[in-house]
Amino acid sequence: MNKIAQIFETLDYGPAPESPDPALAWLKSHGNKFGHFIDGEWTRPGKSFASENPANGKVLAQITDGTQADVEKAVKAARAAFKPWSALSGYERGKHLYAIARLVQKHSRLFAVLESLDNGKPIRESRDVDIPLVARHFYHHAGWAQHLEREFPDHVPYGVCGQIIPWNFPLLMLAWKIAPALAAGNTVVLKPAEFTSLTALLFAEIVEKASLPKGVVNIVTGMGETGAAIVNHPDVDKIAFTGSTEVGKIIRAATAGTGKGLSLELGGKSPYLVFEDADIDSAVEGLVDAIWFNQGQVCCAGSRLLVQESIEDRFIRKLKLRMSTLRVGDPLDKAIDIGALVAQVQVERVRDLMKKGVEEGGMVYEPDIELPKSGCFLRPALVTNVSPSHTLVAEEIFGPVLVAMSFRTPEEAVALANNTKYGLAATIWSENINLALDIAPKLKAGVVWINGTNSFDAAVGFGGYKESGFGREGGKEGMAAYLKPAWEQTLKAATTSAAPAKAEASTNPLDVDSTSIDRTAKMYIGGKQARPDSGYSRPVLGPNGELVGEVGEGNRKDIRNAVEAARAALSWGTATAHSRAQILYFLAENLEYRADEFARRLRAQTGESLASAHKEVAASVERLFAFAGWADKYDGAVHNPPSRAIAVAMVEPIGVIGIVAPPSRPLLGAVALIAPALAMGNPVVLVPSERSPLSATDLYQVIETSDVPAGVVNIVTGDAVSLAKTLAEHDGVDALWFAGSREASAMVEKASIGNLKQTWTTRGLTYDLADREKFEGDYFLKRATQIKNVWVPYGA
């Protein structure tokens, strides 16, 4: 037998080393010690920490630990550069981004080697995945820079963007954030992860070579305190963070009430669904990429294997066989599958979780693979005999560990897949395209891959649902994350209008006119009128202090009941858009039929003229018509990434939306907020105007006669701020819109961190919801929806 035949018989791999010399020479040219890159200049190195090669523990360089003063200097430079940079034409900014893309390509080998030295990922991943995607993002956003005015009319950049990136994809995460920020006209202060700062510092040299104006990009290295200084800096206008959910919640709390833009791309525990009709060999190979790519240190790693029971044994056997052939070793060896974890602390964290998993009954399989004698290496692991509540199933491990469970039916597969606090990504393997496309919309994840995994492109948005964060990176929605409506810059502080004078008798709950029939308005929960749990009511007073009526005093239990009813009505989001449109039209028609009655009620509560009250009713009817019209028109897109696949961007409802209406315009204020939410398929819990709630309680009489399904609209009256706090803290509420004071808005945003619900608050500013131009379109539609990108491969 000749040698070639022997090679094909054994399939043994010899070493294929990549030389580290050019990267080490670059480090040496800097004396293996780095300061910050601020205002186009390199600062002198300060107090530093070591950046080590996780494959062997050797120190690569000393990195300066940024101080509050360093962050102050960087933000000041970014602020000074913002006005001239944003004043450039999109074409001029695009040329700079294009230059960066070309320079990244020119130095791609150096970037790839440096990334693998610093991070520990295999060189073929850095070389063939990370760096080409970095260049792709700058090319893609060079085009966006030139076309922003056409695609985002009347939008402006935020200003200074603080960006904090993780260690698992150091340069790629930098590109995901810097490219759209610069294209939009923002300036940047970026902090790389302390474990992996080197490619960000090399990128700073690229910025110099591309002749980017000074101060547009500033790189400040450091530990967590440096990142906190950026987050808390009062002159930073937007924060973009990728990292753990725990830190994401801290940042959400820190930015509450500040008005800063915020996008969070956080953790995940992504399901990998394999149906019985799948190509098993392909699914096994895809799973290798899903969980052992970058040593499992991927936020969207397919770490939960869900395989149909009928093929479970065969699939697990094949998977174990494939695991035994994986190669673990030197990241600079091009024949290696799994490199080093980023640091010893991460190795210990994975080991601790595995120990806990075994204590809970998990059975661990690790192939008999020889590991290097030093460095941060772990064998790939498969854990079986687990349940949905098992620690290794519920918690993000961020290491080369796969947990496996089985399912019998597609319905059970969806239930298991969605049984997580996360919602970043999911994978479906099936040869039945009908089944795959039926399952994909049911998965609560921002990205779904069909018969493939870990596909990324600059033209396709990436981001999560639930505690995986909010906002998108890449695609049009990622570009939108760095822009805001120009009119938001002109908002004025709301003037607090005097509340109706309270009659002395109103303080006594028993002191009601005994000659009149009690017409206390009930709440509306689950399609039925409901008395308040408190057993108390509150008076509604007219402009002169006269008693107009009473409403129930809602409490925590009323909110709980309303949220439960709303969650039971989530099927509203799967109704056809045409059906939702018809119901909203019907609602508008019935409201118009009772216009005189509603106008008189408005006049009694607010003291406005009857003519003015009629205008508010007419505007409310028109707003319902407007969003009925949007219901079947605000839809997604089909992206064409540079691969044999399409990515279908599906517009989906967020879920249950809590809405606290403004005190003024009691009818229009409520309708202007619930109409876009309903049009997009979200059930709502409405807290009406605290001062004038009777227009909203009258509205449920219209709702009852307009074919609105039970639970789609729920109304709880009472103290707006206390009820808002309860809604903010409730994990069954997916988003919260609040109109109120700056202090109360900050409270709502901070109280929402439990499940990282999306919030919109007025922050004590005047939002004139009667303005059709601003609020009859996508301003609220995009807040009532989230984008799911479904990747569908094609071709034989």
**Residues with catalytic roles:** 265, 299
Residue 756's nearest CA partner among 162, 396, 255 is 255
Under 8 Å between Cβ of 54 and 119: yes
Under 8 Å between Cβ of 295 and 400: yes
Under 8 Å between Cβ of 410 and 421: no
Determine what percent of the chain falls in helix, strand and coil, rounding each to the nearest 5.
Answer: 45, 20, 35
**Tokens of residue 31, six digits:** 């004396």
Residue 427 neighbours by CB under 8 Å, 6+ apart: 270, 271, 272, 273, 286, 290, 302, 448, 449, 450, 452, 453
Between CA 728 and CA 662 the distance in angstroms is 17
The residues pairing with 483 across neighbouring beta strands, listed in sequence order, are: 157
Enumerate long-range contacts of 102-105, CB under 8 Å, 24 or more apart: 103/206, 103/209, 103/210, 104/131, 104/134, 104/135, 104/138, 104/203, 104/206, 105/135
Report the amino acid identity of residue 253: A
φ, ψ at 652 (rounded to 5°): -125, 150
DSSP symbol at 30: T
**Tokens of residue 368, six digits:** 């008999």
Between CA 764 and CA 743 the distance in angstroms is 8
**Residue 529: how many CB atoms within 10 A of its CB?**
15
Under 8 Å between Cβ of 523 and 554: yes
Sign of CA pseudo-dihedral 190, 193, 197, 203: negative
| 3-class SS of residue 301 | coil
